[in-house]
Amino acid sequence: MGGRTSMTSLTKISPLSFILILLHSHHHPATATATTTIYEILPIFGLPGGLFPDSVKNYTFSIEDGTFAVELEKQQPCYVQLEDYMVCYDELISGTLKIGSITNLEGVRVKWLMIWLKVDEIKVDLPPNDNIYLQFGLVNKKLDVNQFRTIHSCTYQDKLMFKRQGRTTSSSSS
Ligand SMILES: *[C@@H]1O[C@H](CO)[C@@H](O)[C@H](O)[C@H]1NC(C)=O
């Protein structure tokens, strides 16, 4: 019983103090986001770093209420093919980061039964295990969290079209 109490207070306190330590260790707290990546912030909340693709340009994160906004490099959607789903990330992704979840998520969609559905929430179990849950509309899908452990590269729409046509492209412009 005592263990449960300390566990609860730990999960409430540790991420914040962790971030405070991170911020404190930099001499200019205002620019802490430039050195602490979003991929490093996610695991502090028990979430896998690979939830966002490799093309993150910059982001903002509020320690006070957990709200964040992530901006991707290109001004076009980024596609990532996972084991179970194709995921589409908009150029701007936002939401609220809490221990074990992202709520109010905007800018992430998954292709499910041939249609694109907006992901509203992402959750993991606490303490973390191999499961991650994507909530889109009334549907809640359990996935293997390990497919989000590595940071995935973006594929863009033009490349997807070429793939579909069975053609290979060597991009001359990048
Ligand atoms: C990223 O940087 C640009 C230019 O500095 C800024 O306008 C934008 O608001 C930033 N995006 C985020 C999510 O912080």
The CATH code of the domain that includes 154 is 2.30.240
Phi, psi of 110 (to 5 degrees): -125, 150
Spacing, Cα 80 to ligand 1 middle (Å): 23
The ligand 1 atom at the shortest distance from the C-alpha of residue 94 is: 13
**Which atom of ligand 1 has the smallest separation from the CA of 60?**
14
What is the reported pLDDT for 83? 85
Residue 170 in domain:
no
Q: Which domain, by its residues, includes 123? A: 2-164
Residue 25's pLDDT is what?
45
Q: Which residues contact 172 (CB under 8 A, 6 or more apart)?
A: none
Q: What is the residue-level pLDDT of the chain in tens, covering all 174 positions? A: 444 443 433 444 455 555 554 544 444 444 444 578 999 999 999 999 999 999 999 999 999 999 999 999 988 999 999 987 899 999 999 999 999 999 999 999 999 888 899 999 999 999 889 999 999 988 999 999 999 999 999 999 877 765 555 544 444 444
In a domain, 18, yes or no: yes
CB 60 less than 6 A from any atom of ligand 1? yes
The reply to whether 171 falls in a domain is no
Q: Which of 41, 58, 93 to mutate to test the pocket of ligand 1 (most atoms within 8 A of CB)?
A: 58
State residue 150's pLDDT score: 94
Q: How many domains is the chain partitioned into structurally?
A: 1
In a domain, 172, yes or no: no
Determine, yes or no, domain membership for 114: yes
Return the ligand 1 atom nearest residue 71 CA: 13
Q: Examine residue 122 and state whether it is found in any structural domain, yes or no.
A: yes
Q: Are 145 and 132 in contact (CB under 8 A)?
A: yes
Distance (angstroms) between ligand 1 centre and the Cα of 60 equals 8
For residue 35, the model assigns a pLDDT of 75
71 lines ligand 1 (CB under 6 A): yes
Residue 120 lies in a domain: yes
Does 58 sit in the ligand 1 pocket, CB within 6 Å?
Answer: yes
Report CA(126)–ligand 1 centroid distance (Å).
32
Query: What distance in Å separates the CA atoms of residue 16 and residue 36, rounded to the nearest whole number?
Result: 14
Token look-up 């502090």 returns 44
Question: Is the residue at 173 inside a domain?
Answer: no
* Measured CA distances, 3 to 6, 8, 56, 93, 100 (Å): 5, 9, 39, 37, 19
| C-alpha to C-alpha distance for 50 and 108, rounded to whole angstroms | 13
